[in-house]
Amino acid sequence: MKKKILLMIISIFATILCLVSLLPNNIVLAENSEDFDVKSYCLMDAKTGILLKEKNSEEKHEVASMVKLMTSLLTMEKIERGEWSLDTMLTVSDYAASMEGSQAFLDAGKSYTIDNLLKSVIVASANDSSVVLAENYSGSETLFVDVMNSRAKELGMTNTLYANSTGLPAFNQYSTAHDIAKLLKVVSKHDLYHKYSSIWMDNLVHESGRVTELVNTNRLVKYYPGCVCGKTGFTDEAGYCLSVEAKRNDMDIISVVMGAKTSNERFSVSSSLLNFGFANFKSVKVVDSTNILKTDKKIKGTKNFVECHSKEDLFMTLEHGNAEGKYQVETQFNDIKTPVKTGDVVGKVVVICDGKEVCSTELVSNADYLTPTYFDAVHSVFDNWSLCAK
């Protein structure tokens, strides 16, 4: 009898011990592992493109309104080329006005500025405004989709296919968490996107005087310190999606979450991922664009080396506490011939980690180097002869 009681006590004690030990591990697991209950996600250093954390980041899924990142990018690039301005007026077709889901409730046959259309796309995820931009960009949304897919290929989005400009459900339209992160990295370089993406609430005033209230669908812009831009998405098939960028000190991180079950979950998972990134990693400048370099070979037919500098700074992602990391910086110079003008590309500098190129930038000349004259060539010959004689 005493033996049975003793065994029962030991059994109860062991059960309690298991429960106590499991509880904190589960909490840590939810915060710090890849075991978030979403379809896929990735956390990327926006400066280097290095993935800090991921789950199924190359898995193809519908991404809902995150498609509008590409619609926005193409619009901003057209503005930068001088083909459109923010004051350009675009007319709303019947088809555009018929869009369902999130919308700016545009009036068919009326015209709106690109300023208002793009703002309503980025802030309020307006489907009707997206179609207006697409139709006026290429003549039809179908032709615009061709441009979207072409640009995706240029950006290395190898697992992405677009079928419309809005992200509304469509056959054969998909992307991945990693591809969306690549896209947001490029989109984020445009100040115009930051301008609109940081708006919390605004109004779109129609020609009739009617007002549509625009409310930002990305809560983290207001509630996560350092969040600078992003894009939400939701359909029944895609689930709740979110791509965001946040900056703190010298660190710039992009988080993409796909297929969350609730709106709150996409924001909480994104916040946890960003917290993990800021707590564990840092960006270190490894190439400084202000440093002056010299080519390793003389310009053909001259005794001059080209002084040059990198076109932009390059960074490497390191874990906190790791002062050096495993990376190499290599300079690769072209076969340089005169004339060389200031700003001409003379080579490139590459950051390599584990045998793979992480990032690179062009090396450009700091000065003009003219083609040698006949007398310069003769003088060079005599200089070389003098050196040999010595």
Give the active site residues: 65, 68, 125
* Cβ(212)–Cβ(104) below 8 Å: yes
Q: d(Cα 379, Cα 374) in Å, to the nearest integer?
A: 9
Burial (0-12, 13-18, 19+ Cβ within 10 Å), 81: exposed
Strand, coil or helix: 294: strand
Amino acid at 261: K
**Per-residue exposure over 306-339, b if at least 16 CB sit within 10 Å of its own CB, e if not:** bebbbbeebbbbbeeeeeeeebeeebebeebebe
CA gyration radius, the chain: 28
Helices (H), the chain: 2-32, 68-80, 94-97, 114-124, 127-138, 141-154, 177-187, 191-197, 220-223, 263-280, 374-389
CB atoms within 10 A of CB 44: 29
Structure tokens at 175: 């992307």
DSSP single-letter state for residue 370: P
Strand, coil or helix: 235: strand
